[in-house]
């Protein structure tokens, strides 16, 4: 005969279990978080379960219902940590919520089970919070594209050799003319974008972004649209420059309308706005540090001369957006700073470094990547444009990076045998190629003289490259 469970007896048993569980430190979770099995410490398949101990007497009245398993209580904490683990600033020791347990669950048997659970949960939370700062800050990713400054991702691939680089540079120069790096950066044009050939780093960055995945004519139309709609600064420290702060404060729709003639305006307008917002915030932060005279440990701030400091403070005071402090950084640091901006990958950043900062840097676009694969300068089937950049940046001599970059692009655009899609039936194939004996061509071919890809496919490919910073210069 089964003894009758009274309400008072059930309450006493629940109180006894609660007293044993006082030392348990529960896993942090918000009210919408997953339940955790007290027996295994694992998620109970994502289903929410309610704790039945508020009204113990109701358990006997619901025998026809599925018995609920206990879960840890929810805590009202900020979701500052990943996976709703709670607030970074909230010390773990301050969380003393007591779990409500149901003795009828077979998983709760002995006190040592609870001790093990508390230990396991504490380890889980400690591991999740290890190394996190006590205050939330905007983190700056270091080399988010997996760049390896100073080291090649393919150390076993010994090509290209300096001799091979010299030979290809000589042959391409014979076909396209000698390319000599300029000793002085020309004054910026207000109608032509170019690829960073301007003194202002921010100008160079936006101009290069606009030139990505489109033609020179289209990028010029987009840049001209910004100038016409938002104007240039007529006075102050940035006199003559595009009014980037006006573009920053303008509605996204206005920026879209200004550059829509250049194509891909929906993508590029969002990137431009996001970049300008970041630059404005950084300019103000740098100004505050410089005014207070307290360094945050950044080398580019501690090494500034008085004139450079006054220039940065004046720029911030007048809301003249500037990235000109990157001129003082090393090539590796400048690359790290540039690729943190939305939509800026190694190719765009390398163009800014090469043309604006005037540092040796081998930017890899689609034409260069294709021909370098045909030359055998990168491992077949392994390299991407990003890893090819890291590899070629190490293998190509500095004094050839500017000329080879320019020559390979010209050749990839104009050579009938080295264009993206070509074949023996292509027009001009019989004219030959100056590096024909050095390359092994792979990839798509034209069938007869039929036109391949259709316009819609071309637009799709350009949009994809724009989203991934793969420019077809």
Between 445 and 457, the more confident residue is 445
Domain count, the chain: 2
Q: Which of 326, 357, 388 is the last residue of a domain?
A: 357
Does residue 55 sit within a domain? Answer: no
Domain boundary among 324, 357, 390: 357
CATH number of the domain at 167, please: 1.10.1670.10
> What does the pLDDT read at residue 7?
60
Residues 320 and 379 in one domain: no
The answer on 350 and 384 residing in a single domain is no
332 in the same domain as 207:
yes
pLDDT per residue over 148-157, tens digit each? Answer: 888 999 999 9
Q: What are 350-369's pLDDT values in tens digits?
A: 999 999 999 999 999 999 99
Least confident of 245-249, 259-263, 323-327, 442-446: 442-446
The pTM assigned to this predicted structure is 0.65
Distance CA 146, CA 311 (A): 34
Q: Is the pLDDT of residue 454 over 50?
A: no
- 262 and 167 together in one domain: no
Q: Are residues 263 and 170 in the same domain?
A: no
> Do 369 and 430 belong to one domain?
yes
Domain co-membership, 276 together with 226:
yes
Q: 357, 372, 393 — which closes off a domain?
A: 357
Read off the DSSP letter of residue 242: B
Is residue 306 included in any domain, yes or no? Answer: yes
* pLDDT over 90 at 24, yes or no: no
In a domain, 462, yes or no: no
Q: Give the domain extent around 346.
A: 189-357
Residue 244 has pLDDT above 60, yes or no: yes
Residue 300 is predicted with a pLDDT of 60
In-domain check, residue 100 = no
| pLDDT score recorded for residue 121 | 41
Query: Do residue 232 and residue 376 come from a single domain?
Result: no
Q: What is the pLDDT of residue 145?
A: 81
Most confident of 120-124, 130-134, 347-351: 347-351
Average pLDDT over residues 64-84: 38
In this prediction, residue 12 carries a pLDDT of 67
Q: What is the distance between the alpha carbons of residues 282 and 326, in angstroms, rounded to a whole number?
A: 12
Per-residue pLDDT at 9: 64
Does 265 share its domain with 314?
yes
Q: Is residue 136 part of a domain?
A: no
Q: How many CB atoms lie within 10 A of CB 359?
A: 19
The pLDDT mean for the chain works out to 74
Tell me the average pLDDT across 425-440. Answer: 93
Residue 241 lies in a domain: yes
- Shared domain for 217 and 316, answered yes or no, is yes
93 within some domain: no
Q: In this structure, what CATH number is given to the domain that contains residue 303?
A: 1.10.340.30
pLDDT digits (tens, 9 = 90+) for 380-408: 999 999 999 999 999 999 999 999 999 99
- Within-domain flag for 311: yes
> 400 and 375, same structural domain?
yes
Q: What is the mean pLDDT of residues 177-206?
A: 82
Same domain for 167 and 241, yes or no, is: no
278-294: per-residue pLDDT in tens? 999 999 999 999 988 76
């Amino acid at each position: 005969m089964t003894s009758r469970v009274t309400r008072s007896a059930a309450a006493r048993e629940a109180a006894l279990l609660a007293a044993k569980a006082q030392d348990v430190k529960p896993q942090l979770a918000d009210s919408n978080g997953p339940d955790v099995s007290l027996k295994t410490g694992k998620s109970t398949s994502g289903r929410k379960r309610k704790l039945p101990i508020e009204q113990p007497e109701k358990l006997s009245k619901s025998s026809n219902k599925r018995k609920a398993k206990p879960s840890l209580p929810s805590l009202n904490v900020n979701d500052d940590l990943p996976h709703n683990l709670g607030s970074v600033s909230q010390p773990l020791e301050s969380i003393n919520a007591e779990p409500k347990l149901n003795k009828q669950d077979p998983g709760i048997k002995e006190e040592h089970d609870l001790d093990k659970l508390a230990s396991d949960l504490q380890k889980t939370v400690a591991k999740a919070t290890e190394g996190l700062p006590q205050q939330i800050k905007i983190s700056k990713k270091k080399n988010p594209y997996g760049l390896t400054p100073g080291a090649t991702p393919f150390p076993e691939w010994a090509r290209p050799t300096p001799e091979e680089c010299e030979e290809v540079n000589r042959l391409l120069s014979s076909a396209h003319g000698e390319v000599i790096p300029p000793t002085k950066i020309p004054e910026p044009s207000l109608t032509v974008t170019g690829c960073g050939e301007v003194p202002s780093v921010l100008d160079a960055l936006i101009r290069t972004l606009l030139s990505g995945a489109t033609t020179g004519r289209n990028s010029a139309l987009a840049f001209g649209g910004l100038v016409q709609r938002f104007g240039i600064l007529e006075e102050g420290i940035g006199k003559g420059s595009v009014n980037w702060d006006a573009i920053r404060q303008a509605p996204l729709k206005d920026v879209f309308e200004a550059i829509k003639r250049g194509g891909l305006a929906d993508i590029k307008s969002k990137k431009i706005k996001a970049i300008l917002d970041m630059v404005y915030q950084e300019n103000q932060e740098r100004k505050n540090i410089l005014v207070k005279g307290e360094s945050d440990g950044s080398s580019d701030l501690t090494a500034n001369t008085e004139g450079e400091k006054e220039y940065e403070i004046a720029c911030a005071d007048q809301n003249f957006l500037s990235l000109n402090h990157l001129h003082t950084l090393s090539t590796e640091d400048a690359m790290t700073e540039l690729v943190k901006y939305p939509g800026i990958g190694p190719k765009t950043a390398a163009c800014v470094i090469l043309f604006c900062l005037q540092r040796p840097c081998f930017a890899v676009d689609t034409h260069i990547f294709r021909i370098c694969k045909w030359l055998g300068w990168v491992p077949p089937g392994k390299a991407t444009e990003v890893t090819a950049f890291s590899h070629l940046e190490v293998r190509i001599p500095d004094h050839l990076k500017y000329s080879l970059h320019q020559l390979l692009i010209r050749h990839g655009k104009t050579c009938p045998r080295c264009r993206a899609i070509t074949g023996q039936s292509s027009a001009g194939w019989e004219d030959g190629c100056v590096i024909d004996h050095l390359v092994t061509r792979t990839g798509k071919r034209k069938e007869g003289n039929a036109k391949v890809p259709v316009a819609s496919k071309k637009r799709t490919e350009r949009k994809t490259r724009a989203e991934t910073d793969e420019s077809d210069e």
